[in-house]
Amino acid sequence: MYNFGRLISSFTFCITFIIFFFCLLFPVNGRWHNHAKKHKQHSHHHYHFTISQPPSPFPSPSPSPSPSPSPSSEPQSPPEDDGGPASSINSTIIFDVRHFGAIGDGTADDTAAFKMAWDTACQRNDDDDNNYGVILVPYGFSFMIQSTIFTGPCRNGIVFQVDGTLMAPDGPDAWPKGYSAHQWLVFYRVYNMSLQGNGLIDGRGQKWWDLPCKPHKGKTMTGPCDSPIAIRFFMSSKLRVEGVRIKDSPQFHFRFDNCKDVYIDSLHITSPALSPNTDGIHIENTNGVQIFNSIVANGDDCISIGSGSYNVEITNITCGPGHGISIGSLGNHNSRACVSNITVRDSIIKVSDNGVRIKTWQGGYGAVRGVSFNNINMDNVRNPIIIDQFYCLNKGCLNQTSAVVVSDISYIDIKGTYDIRSPPMHFGCSDSMPCMNLTLANIELFPSKGDILLDPFCWNAYGNLKTLTIPPISCLLETSSRSFLESEKDYC
């Protein structure tokens, strides 16, 4: 019995030990699993924010999902793919500027790193045309870069993804000697490129605006007064600019020269109302332009259209304060100017010096034809509708007989309020080259203060009224059978 009892006791002890072992094993295993999960999350977080140093030779990028932001007022982490510059593209290669040595502390000069990232992305040899390089300006970092030209053509499509902040040097004294003061960031001879993101481009223009030669706060002084354009596209095509915010450019915020097939959407452009010559978007010798869904508040024209531009569509723009949406100025220094097929519609212009404007210098030649302003709301605008063929920046301009011809201009559904310092409509046309074929319909413009309607102003303007207008416009001349032979010789 004793031995049997000892056997039973030993067996009980073994069973108890086994049960205890299993009870111990499962909690330990659970704790190990949870710890591993946390460690994995920590590693991912650490990887995302580590600043890597550039290896030698250039880093070999790896395929990654394409960033494609949806427009937002606040910067976000790099979003998912929307197809990039062309909807058929579905594969990307990421070139994070930090991997090329960019610091991103807002002080260090990161120009060389950006140039290296651009050159590597642009020159990569990829047999698949659907693979395009993404130069990533990551969220959470501020990169100061000097005046730089990013040169193409590139082998494949390229995206400049701005999710962080790009900063210009802080004023003329910080601008390196020997660098051009005409422009900051230039994209030259690029094809199939997108500039996009939820980040910020900061031109840091205040010290440029305060130069003694600027007409800022009443200051005037002769002498050189160069100031850089923030972003310039030159001799480029198939361009997209989408979602980015840009502020305080020393001069124009965006300028497109000799470009074609340009798509602009959801931009937010801001600078103070007194900042001089800070046009939001300027196009020159550029065709096939679409500008949609953007907000521009600045010290000059929200959008300005220069000579050589045609097939331009502008839709859903909120403009002001500023100088409105302008065609011109054209024909300066007796030059040739040709603009045609321009549409501006479904937009708001508020607290602005001008609404929709065409401005030409005396002595020029050429033509502005086929322009439509449709469904535009004016909110306390000084000159809601204006054609000025006597445009001059000072009182010393001489009268000249030649002029840029203005014809086939329509104003449909222009409504709102005007600043009573100026008449609601102003058609100041050349003595020798009258404005021809002006069409007005559904015009309703009321004074922003008081209840007295001001009379429109007309000089040598011919057109027709499709409906009664408010205020009534009796000064518009009926289109006559007179043949303006000289106007046909417009060289366009």
Helices vs strands, H then E, count in the chain? 4, 32
Peptide bond into 138 cis (omega under 30): no
Name the strand (E) or helix (H) holding 46: helix 2-49
Long-range contacts of 393-400 (CB under 8 A, 24+ apart): 397/361, 397/362, 398/362, 399/362, 399/431, 400/334, 400/362, 400/363
- Containing 288, the helix (H) or strand (E) segment is strand 287-297
Catalytic: which of 45, 323, 333, 426? 323
Place of tokens 């006791």: 9
CB atoms within 10 A of CB 13: 10
> 93 and 133 in contact (C-beta within 8 Å)?
yes
Residue 44: active-site member: no
CA dist., res. 76 & res. 166, Å (int): 15
CA distance 327 to 302: 11
* Residues 259, 236 contacting (CB under 8 angstroms): yes
**Cβ-contact 162, 122 below 8 angstroms:** no
Question: H or E stretch including 193?
Answer: strand 191-196
**Which residues are part of the catalytic machinery?**
323
